[in-house]
Homo-oligomer: A and B are copies of this chain.
């Protein structure tokens, strides 16, 4: 896509960088973003011997990606497909939707799609956000535990001041609560915010910084780090699995036993048994914080499709799958994701392909009321996860059954 004129500018830049006269991330100061990316591709190709042709064949102006990356050389293109449409009876999203998934794992969409079909046959999945709040937990150093307790008490007494300081920095965010934790001379304050349709990490970081300034100004505590890891962002941690972060969301469905038998070729009993032995007891024995089969798969694929933060797939995997036979012999099946961090504004959601994927779901941008779009996205991902879990456990169940048949036939 580069013209002759461009090519000469590119050659100049490449020479300058190789000569140490310019730095790799300064190219946008001199040329447009696409030219800068082309120059970097050429540099990288010469250094590594790689051919970066498809990386350079992206479908939108590079400047669209400026807030999202530095040192851009192009794009990675990940296959995107759809499953559904699936019927969602959610608190925020009550309709049929195609679900967009981007993945490199063959058979994933086929599996999720099968789950969606069965969900539809059962009348659709129910979904609800049961808890919500984005967190940030700075760590302060104090002299000793006497001072630590004094800080905890100060925080309890100055809730309104802290809230005012934090909320002054944001038009949308609302501070919900601050929970203190003491370990020796360390005090961690876990701030929890309603961030509406934003995933909200930037918003809560800025707001919490303002609150920390107040704490430091009025107490003897010293801020060590704006994140003291009790947030917890992008690390597997029980605090998220227990208390939630972002959205806690559950999707469930009751599937008539006839549908289980005809569509999934297994029985409610078999699925419940496999869920217990694998997802509950197996995960228990593994020391797990995730009691499910492969929730991370649809979560990662829908995160990637819709411009979410891929590193937050870590928390997205804190999910529990349950399966039981109802009094009527049908299958109750659910997935509860404790800490799904999603947004429909900001971050990667504005990128061209990602915003189109959000349009497919009908949840791009701010919701009405505020927060409704991110809730809807959370519900859609929960239903995608439900479909994925159902399909995988059913596959195990039908194999189990057929293998049982075989062995009976011997």
Given A185-B334, A313-B314, A317-B235, A80:B70 Cβ within 8 A: no
Q: How far is the CB of A35 from chain B (nearest CB, A)?
A: 15
Q: How far is the CB of A224 from chain B (nearest CB, A)?
A: 5
Contact residue range for chain A? 35 or more
Given A128-B149, A284-B283, A81:B77 Cβ within 8 A: no
Q: Is A196 in contact with chain B by the CB < 8 A criterion?
A: no
A68 touches B79 (CB 8 A): yes
What are the 6 A-B residue pairs with the smallest beta carbon separation, nearest first?
Answer: A57-B59, A104-B348, A238-B287, A229-B282, A184-B334, A238-B238
Chain B positions within 8 Å of A144 at CB level: 126, 252, 254, 332, 334
- With A53-B356, A238-B288, A281-B291 known, 19 other A-B pairs at CB within 8 A are A51-B359, A52-B360, A59-B77, A68-B105, A70-B110, A77-B352, A130-B180, A144-B252, A148-B250, A183-B334, A184-B252, A184-B332, A185-B252, A224-B274, A232-B286, A238-B241, A238-B286, A276-B324, A284-B291
Q: Is A54 in contact with chain B by the CB < 8 A criterion?
A: yes
Once the chains are docked, how many angstroms separate the CA of A56 from the CA of B277?
Answer: 43
Interface residues of A in 262-283 (CB under 8 A from B): 273-274, 276-283
B91 touches A80 (CB 8 A): no
| Identical copies of this chain, number | 4
A248 touches B182 (CB 8 A): yes
Q: Is A87 in contact with chain B by the CB < 8 A criterion?
A: no
Interface residues of A in 289-305 (CB under 8 A from B): 289-297, 299-301, 303-305
Q: How far is the CB of A308 from chain B (nearest CB, A)?
A: 8
Chain B positions within 8 Å of A300 at CB level: 310-311, 313
Per-residue 0/1 for A211-227: is the Cβ within 8 Å of any B Cβ (1 yes, 0 no)? 00000100000111111
Interface residues of A in 150-174 (CB under 8 A from B): 152
Given A54-B60, A105-B309, A278-B229, A152:B130 Cβ within 8 A: yes
